[in-house]
Structure 1
Amino acid sequence: MGLLELFVIAVGLSMDAFAVSICKGLSVRELKPKHALTVGVYFGGFQMLMPLIGFALGVRFQSFITSIDHWIAFVLLGLIGANMIRESREQDEENLSDSFSFGAMLPLAVATSIDALAVGVTFAFLQVSILPAVCFIGATTFILSCIGIRIGHVFGLKYKSRAELFGGAVLILMGTKILLEHLGVLG
């Protein structure tokens, strides 16, 4: 997997965290650097942790399913992407308080990084070098989360659904590309 592909996956995965960061930015009366640092550390940290867990699971069971790994990658990325697109169409506003406590941030960090768990499994099948990959994903999510909280604070909720729509489309396209490469359609 090349750097460009990894970057596209990292951005796609970070879109949930980016969208939630925008919402968190909406809830802050006075934005402080510690707010951006908090969302960046939680979201970026979990975007690093979850693919590691998924990778470990994928490596453990790799020998059983190597013949269908490209289909697994296609289905997982497709489902994750479709779910993100569906969520981008929902009109109900999330009830995000202005709390940045452990109890408020942990569930958000876990929820926004579940997709990364599945991507970690996919990385195991594709034999991706996991440590550089998860560091890159974590750093990308950290940066985009910090940017997201600022955007939310300045511009409001109108970008949330676009970010999720973009992220979902990117993941679906990456899954399709992986499938087509393994089927020999793309070189």
Structure 2
Amino acid sequence: MSPVSILLIGFAMSTDAFAAAIGKGAAMRKPVFRDALRAGLIFGAIEAITPVIGWLLGRAALDYVEAFDHWIAFGLLVALGLHMIVNGLRPHDDETDEDPSRHHGFWRLAVTGFATSIDAMAVGIGLAFMDVHIGVMALVIGLCTLTMVTAGIMLGRVLGNMVGKRAEIIGGIILMIIGSTILYEHLSGAA
């Protein structure tokens, strides 16, 4: 596989994480680069690990993963999206509001990162049958995701300032759209 193809796969695998990062950045109150880089590292690590897991599963798990990956991603993203929308609709008292960084902690970012990387696991299974070094591929996917998520959080910050304190609703809608798109693409491809 050519270096250009590997890079294109890396960026393709990071686009849904990028969209989710825009939503996360919009929901955060003025994230700084450190916050964006932290989210990028979490998403990038997860996005790099999932194709390796898929590659390890190989041919034995192909039917199982292909049959359910879209449902898992859809369920996780819709649930997280609905949670964000509910939080965005709750009245906020700025003086007694809890620490907003708690809403963007490690586990919430990790679950979102995993939900957006399930398709990378299926790609990893496909890569098991191709002439490609999985370590290089995983590194490229992880670095592309790190870059895209960091940029997405910072871009979301700008969008968040424009749309106000209800930006978490937009982030939830984005996650639900990503989940629905993943489901649609798999179901329309299977038909």
**What whole-Å deviation, never above 9, does each CA across 1:30-56 have from its counterpart, x for those lacking one?**
221221122111110011100011111
For 2:82 and 2:150, how far apart are their aligned partners in 1? 21
Check the 8 A contact 1:13/1:116 in 2, yes or no.
yes
| Match runs of 1:120-159 below 5 Å | 120-156=124-160
CA separation in 1, counterparts of 2:30 and 2:158?
A: 11
- Kindly indicate whether residue 45 of structure 2 is the aligned counterpart of residue 45 of structure 1: yes
TM-score, normalised by the number of residues in structure 1:
0.65
Structure-2 residue corresponding to 1:4 = 4
Deviates more, 1:101-110 or 1:42-51: 101-110
1:35·1:100 contact (CA, 8 Å) conserved in 2?
Answer: no
Unaligned 5+ runs, structure 1:
66-71, 176-187
Q: Unaligned stretches of 5+ in structure 2?
A: 88-99, 161-169
Equivalent residue number for residue 164 of structure 2: none
Q: Deviations over 1:51-78 (max 9, x none)?
A: 01111111x649xx9xxxxxx8xxx6xx
Normalized against structure 2, the TM-score is what? 0.64
> Could you tell me how far 1:20 is from its partner in structure 2?
1.0
Mapped to 1, the partners of 2:140 and 2:83 lie a distance apart of 28
Q: Secondary structure in 1 aligned to 2:84?
A: coil
Q: Deviations for 1:97-139, whole angstroms, at most 9, x for unmatched residues?
A: 7522123122111101111100100110113111111101100
The aligned residue for residue 184 of structure 1 is none
RMSD: 3.5
Q: Is the 8 A contact 2:46 2:110 kept in 1?
A: no
Checking the alignment, whether the CA contact within 8 Å between 1:25 and 1:153 is kept in structure 2 is: yes
Which residues in structure 2 correspond to 1:56-135 (within 5 Å)? 56-58=56-58, 61=60, 95=84, 98=100, 99-135=103-139
